[in-house]
Amino acid sequence: MRQIKRSLRVSIVVYEQIKAKLPQKFFPKPENPPVAEPEPILTPVMQPPTPLGVDIIYRKYRCWTGNTLGCEWTQKTVEQNPASKNCQNCGFPAILPPKTEFRGYKGRYRIDSYLGNRGLGRLYQGIQLTDQQPAIIKEYLLPQLAFNSEETRDRKQAFERLAGVSLADGRIQDIRLNLPWDGIADPVAERCYLVTSGNIDAYPTLRTYLTSTNQPMSERDVYRVLDQVLQTLQFLHTQKFSLPTGQIQQGIAHGNINLDSLLIAADTEEFFIHLSDLALWEKLFDLSTTKTIIPTVAQDLVDLGYVAFYLLACNTLDADIDPKKEQYWQSVTPDFQAFLFRLLALDIPFNNAEEARYILLKIHQALPKQVLIITAKSENQKNKLYRSSKLFLSILGIVFLVGLILWLVQKFQYRENVVEEPVVCCLKSVTGVPAGKFNYSAEKDSTWSFIRRQSNLILQNQTLEEELKASQPKLQLNYQPEDSIEQAIANIQSSKADFAIANMIEPFSPELRHKEFAYDGLVVFVAFSYSKRDKSLPKALNGQISIEQLQDLYTGKITNWKQLKGAKLPNLPVSLYIPKNAESIRIFEQRVLQHASAIAAFRNLQQQKTSTSFTNSTVNITSLSTLEILQKVLRDFEEENIGSIGFATLSQVFGQCSAYPLAIAYSNKAAVQTLVQDNGKSIDPNTDLCDDKGSYKPNIQVFQTGKYPLSYPLVVLYPGDNSRPPIGQKFAEMLRTAEVQQLLEKAGLVPLYESKP
């Protein structure tokens, strides 16, 4: 294990501790490792948080205001000369001018405006150029007078390794923790950039709140602050997280809880506290002479206790105040004071955030009944404090809202929210992909088997898998298809395979994780005859068919189209076709036939070896490849006067014009079509599927919402065991990039989101 240098701060210590627990293959050795020095002896220190002394860190710059990061001259310099790199008065790095662009690992970004400073960085309103979504960019500085070249290099390297964490199991969960989206070390300038999606990271801090209101926060409002922060800390301290390099860490201490790192988000009658600026990357920009303190769970609780104390005292550390002095507790409820003394470690300390929150909930009823109401001003981002006596109505509203959320979660618990996650532009932007040889699996003749072997459909003379390998030269993937998805899953569980590609028809076992990367679905089709289109089945069926009608057809109850209930159809005998792959048959049985008796009749028709006899009113089922079915359906109608019907996956049917995909109706609901025209309307039997190619495409919305009854997501399935390499999760990230999403769309799959030019 590479010895850390004494000059690096808390984040490097954490990194080395993680490194010591994981296999060395995740840590490629640097070409020129620094000379090892003895590792410092570090012990947790219980101490009150102190304001970040940026003027001390950058004291060699003779800033006349004494606050180099927040000095207005760094902004005025750029206003006078946008090309200026340094303050014209003291030489400190100037702010970034508007329209500055830089590239990160997950996209390209542009600075729109300067917002101010927070902690050890400066904040900018920006935008992700890939999808035009807002972003907040925090700029950290490593100016030459404060850091030498070696310190700058080490901090830049550590920043890219540590700036950002995500849940190890791939979930996207709102825990009111502002997790970075991208971390970039400027290759030229002494600057690093931390990018967060959306605008939450620009919310006012609790220090700003105290300054703007100039009055203490009520006990009940402080209780709400504590309740929310403890809930987030409980999550942060106990969950498994993945660092940008792919390493897994069991629980992380925040290490930087203070009035500047807690942001207050305003709503009409509520406020929410968001945590930002973890010590994991924030402390990288302290001076090397600053005393090193290892972030601990215990210190997080003490720091939170001081935040509560300052809120009650309406003090932002401008004066030296001591929570041991009784004068600061005269108006505080005794039970709440006792709780805060334990949180401050002035009495028996709590073991963890969970215990602290449990005790906090027990004293809730003893607190004075006051409610803080905050409204946000968009122009100056300041909040005003209001008092409300309508607590009862607020509680009723919250109970209703929680009930609604729980109902929605139960209804859609098996589906991932793929819209909220920001989009990575390119394969090369996916970081932390483990090097080495990995095995993965899928079911034979499945959708993935069809997609991966298309050499010209996606890229000229190159398969999708070859393109993925080219983007990650050190990654070797070995595809091992199995006869069933059950066997593929068993291979993951026995470590014979590292991940699998599957169609998610129903939830998988809880020890497995999954991540969606596209959609597919079964489409039912009949002949699209150009020469006989006025008398064709699409027109007679009005472009649609119901699940119930399909059940009657594929169980042998209907042998002639005129017998079909609910439609006036021509006198045409029925011929049934099915694809050869077992995956599509299984989905058809589950989604269309549904009942055991119908499935048995369907299978019995497949086993019949006699020729189809329409004179005796019997029908059997013919199994062919998808291409053969498409050709046979059209030939039957035009040459044999037979009304044939078949089904296959959309990915293999889309783009042809010999058959018409019918809209599907189910349970008295309106029929849903998979294809939509450029004007936003679904295709209909009058749409010329041949001449109008390019004017219609899959309707992404009906797949995202599950509105189309025969749709399903395609997922990367990987183990929940975080001790194994995160190749499954990273492979899913590669498939979810905008670059690959466009390739998958060309292959016939339905992407997760609308592609942009």
Residue 757 belongs to some domain of the structure: no
Q: pLDDT digit string (tens) for 616-669? A: 457 889 999 999 999 999 999 988 889 999 999 998 888 788 899 999 998 778
CATH of the domain at 632: 3.40.190.10
User: According to the model, what pLDDT value does residue 290 have?
Assistant: 67
User: According to the model, what pLDDT value does residue 400 have?
Assistant: 58
Contact 80, 95 (CB under 8 A): no
User: According to the model, what pLDDT value does residue 345 have?
Assistant: 93
Task: Please say if the pLDDT value at position 192 is more than 90.
Answer: yes
Residue 749 belongs to some domain of the structure: no
Residue 415 CA: distances (Å) to CA of 331, 423, 555, 674, 718: 49, 18, 31, 19, 16
Residue 440 belongs to some domain of the structure: no
The contacts of residue 472 (CB under 8 Å, 6+ apart) are 427, 430, 433, 734
Q: pLDDT digit string (tens) for 203-231? A: 999 999 888 888 899 998 999 999 999 99
**680 band by pLDDT with thresholds 50, 70 and 90:** confident
Residue 587 CA: distances (Å) to CA of 505, 579, 591, 648, 653: 7, 12, 6, 10, 16
The contacts of residue 185 (CB under 8 Å, 6+ apart) are 156, 157, 159, 160, 192
Residue 72 belongs to some domain of the structure: yes
Q: Which of 174, 219, 222 is nearest to 200 (CA)?
A: 174
Task: Please say if the pLDDT value at position 173 is more than 90.
Answer: no
User: According to the model, what pLDDT value does residue 317 have?
Assistant: 62
User: According to the model, what pLDDT value does residue 19 have?
Assistant: 44
Integer Cα distance of 687 and 548 in angstroms: 26
CATH of the domain at 73: 1.10.510.10
Q: pLDDT digit string (tens) for 396-447? A: 556 556 555 554 544 444 343 333 455 778 887 787 788 889 999 999 888 8
Domain edge (last residue) among 664, 686, 708: 708
Residue 491 belongs to some domain of the structure: no
The pairing of strands 663-665 and 544-546 is: parallel
Residue 752 belongs to some domain of the structure: no
Please list the residues that pair with 574 across neighbouring strands.
Answer: 643
CA atoms lying within 13 Å on the CB side of residue 457:
17
Residue 714 belongs to some domain of the structure: no
Q: What is the mean pLDDT of residues 285-295?
A: 77
Residue 77 CA: distances (Å) to CA of 72, 84, 472, 538, 696: 9, 7, 43, 70, 53
Q: HEC profile for 487-543?
A: HHHHHHHCCCCCEEEEECCCCCCCCEEEEEEEEEEEEEEEECCCCCHHHCHHHHCCC
Domain edge (last residue) among 346, 367, 387: 387
For 591, which DSSP code?
I
For 750, which DSSP code?
B
Tell if the pTM clears 0.75, that is, is over it: no
Q: Pull the structure tokens for residue 611.
A: 């020729």
Residue 589 belongs to some domain of the structure: yes
Integer Cα distance of 186 and 565 in angstroms: 68
pLDDT above 70 covers a percentage of the chain that reads 78
**368 band by pLDDT with thresholds 50, 70 and 90:** low
Average pLDDT taken over every residue of the chain: 80
Of the two residues 162 and 662, the one the predictor is more confident about is: 662
CA-derived radius of gyration, the chain: 31
Please list the residues that pair with 672 across neighbouring strands.
Answer: 664
User: According to the model, what pLDDT value does residue 755 have?
Assistant: 65
- Other CB atoms within 10 Å distance of the CB of residue 438: 18
Task: Please say if the pLDDT value at position 457 is more than 80.
Answer: no
Q: pLDDT digit string (tens) for 83-139? A: 888 888 888 999 999 999 988 888 889 999 999 999 889 999 999 987 788 999 999
Contact 130, 116 (CB under 8 A): no
Range of the domain at 567: 522-708
67 burial type by CB count under 10 A (0-12 exposed, 13-18 middle, 19+ buried): middle
* Count of domains for the chain: 2
Domain edge (last residue) among 341, 363, 387: 387
DSSP reduced 3-state for 295: coil
Length of the chain: 757
Lowest mean pLDDT among 63-67, 161-165, 556-560, 708-712: 63-67
DSSP per-residue codes, 428-481: GG---PPPEEEEEE-BTTSHHHHHHT-SSSSBTTB-HHHHHHHHSTTEEEEE--
